[in-house]
Amino acid sequence: MNEKDRLEILKDILFTEDREDIDKIADRIELLEQAYNSREKFASRVDPIVEEQLDKFTKSIPHTLGPTITATLKKEIQNHKDEVVDALYPVLGKMVKKYVAQEIKVLSEKIDNQLSFISAWKRKLRSFFGGSKEKELLLDDIGGEKIEQVMLIERGSGLLKASFSKTETIDEEMISGMLTAIKTFVEDAFNQKNQELELIEYELYNIHIQSFVNYYVAVVISGAYSLKAKDKVQDIIFDFYHNFMEMNLDLIYTSRHLEQPVDTISSKLIQKKLAEYFGNAKI
Amino acid sequence: MQKSKKIVILGHFGVGKTSLIQRFVKDSFSDKYKVTIGVHITKKIVEVNENDSVSLIIWDLEGTDEVQMIRQAYLLGTHGVVFVFDVSRPSTFQNLNSDLKIVAEKTPDVPLIIVGNKIDLVIQDELQSLLKDNNIEANYLTSAKTGDAVNEMFTHLATLLNDLT
Ligand SMILES: Nc1nc2c(ncn2[C@@H]2O[C@H](COP(=O)(O)OP(=O)(O)OP(=O)(O)O)[C@@H](O)[C@H]2O)c(=O)[nH]1
Ligand SMILES: [Mg+2]
């Protein structure tokens, strides 16, 4: 075998299958080519029909498939609430967040104001009762409770009827208005129909409040306010009020005799009485 | 002689109740809106004539869009009422007459003053037709910002209360 023969044999061994494959591929390409061409021809005729059908089909979905789809969706949504919410969240999220943020802003503003409302009261009370006196009190024996101030205040309107004070520095008219507002607010807010606000504790002061029908009495006490002292203060208030009411009755009685309209007892007189009862009281 | 009188200031949210009081008592104004919660009390002594002065204890109530929601307890024993609306916000005066009726029922037998505030925000001519169209008779048209008619309004009320007793 010469070199050329060997090469031929080798070629045969190596490429026989190849050649067959190449022939097959060529056949297939030809087939495809034919198919493609005929399909193009076919399509040009068929496509419009398909399109029309598809269009009809799409339009009929709401009637035909619609209910089914809706029912399926409903069921899917029901079964996968969390996922649905999750999916919707990014879309709704922004809206919801904006709304919630706004609401929270309003709410926190309200709370801020509520707090500032209370701290404003505190600040005011402090400026009325406080100042350097507070420090003096701290240095003094704290145990000794003392009556600092007494106010007879008209219920409702909160107007000051009369007052007695050892230190004439504060605006008692404002104080009685504020005490009444606090009292009203607390009693109203907590709906304490049968319960009255009795004591306002304020740093070194206790404000004892005793309500009657037309008036209430507020006694400002410095130092620790013991139960024993509270008992005493209450007694003094009752004694004073009893006397005050008697004066009122006397007045009504006298004015009836005089056939004159009932005048109120002068603040000066009540003031004198307040000093009498509370001024030197040991509690 | 000096008498003490309690007055309450009522009206919807943000109509300028607090600002009016601030203007009257401190002669100042702030653009910042600080919502009133509960009630705020201030006092001002008003000279009504050479001999008399009235100590006005002013209760500045939190605004309510529903007049019915006003805490009754705050109104107890009041001697006068100021009802404020905002001329620049129709929602605060659209139901003014029915609002006033409710207020009058809640505070019988006391003077009620009707105040249209923030007139600096509207054009004078338009304001008049606005009031007419809504059938509103305001006693005072004020601006807490410029101070227009604020003192007059409070002093008038103080004089009224002084004369009543
Ligand atoms: N331009 C103008 N703004 C005013 C006037 N009066 C009040 N304002 C503004 O209106 C806003 C509300 O004023 P307030 O006085 O707090 O209103 P209010 O009636 O006390 O509000 P509430 O306490 O929430 O009921 C603030 O931003 C004020 O600066 C006014 O006469 N003119
Ligand atoms: Mg206010």
Q: Which sign, positive or negative, has the C-alpha torsion B149, B150, B151, B156?
A: positive
The tens digit of pLDDT for each residue in A72-108 reads 666 665 666 555 555 544 444 444 445 555 555 555 5
List Cα–Cα distances, A36 to A6, A44, A51, A127, A168, in angstroms: 44, 12, 20, 99, 112
CB count within 10 Å of CB B41 equals: 23
The tens digit of pLDDT for each residue in A42-59 reads 666 666 666 777 777 667
Choose among B66, B15, B5, B72: nearest CA to B39: B72
Closest B-chain CA to A180: B74
Atom of ligand 1 nearest to the CA of B21: 15
Q: How many domains does chain B have?
A: 1
The nearest CA of chain B is from the CA of A223 a distance in Å of: 28
Instruction: Decide if pLDDT at B41 tops 50.
Output: yes
CATH number of the CATH domain containing B80 = 3.40.50.300
The rounded Cα B45 to chain-centroid distance in angstroms is 17
Q: A42-46, A112-116, B160-164 — which one is most confidently predicted on average?
A: B160-164
Residues ≥6 apart with Cβ < 8 Å to A154: A160, A161, A214, A215, B77
Domains of chain A as residue ranges with CATH: 3-66 (no CATH), 95-142 (no CATH), 146-283 (3.30.450.70)
Cβ burial of A195 (10 Å; 0-12, 13-18, 19+) is: exposed
Q: For residues B92 and B12, is the Cβ–Cβ distance under 8 A?
A: yes
The nearest CA of chain A is from the CA of B134 a distance in Å of: 31
Q: Which residues of A touch B (CB under 8 A)?
A: 109-110, 113-114, 116-117, 120, 154-160, 171, 173-174, 177-178, 181, 184-185, 187-188
B39 in A contact zone (CB under 8 Å):
yes
B70: domain range? 2-164
For the entire predicted model, the pTM comes to 0.67
Helix H segments across chain A?
Answer: 3-60, 66-79, 81-129, 132-139, 172-189, 227-258, 267-278
Which residue type is seen at A35?
A
Of B5, B41, B43, the CB nearest to A181: B41
Q: How far is the CA of B18 from the centre of ligand 1 (A)?
A: 7
Q: How far is the CA of B56 from the centre of ligand 1 (A)?
A: 21
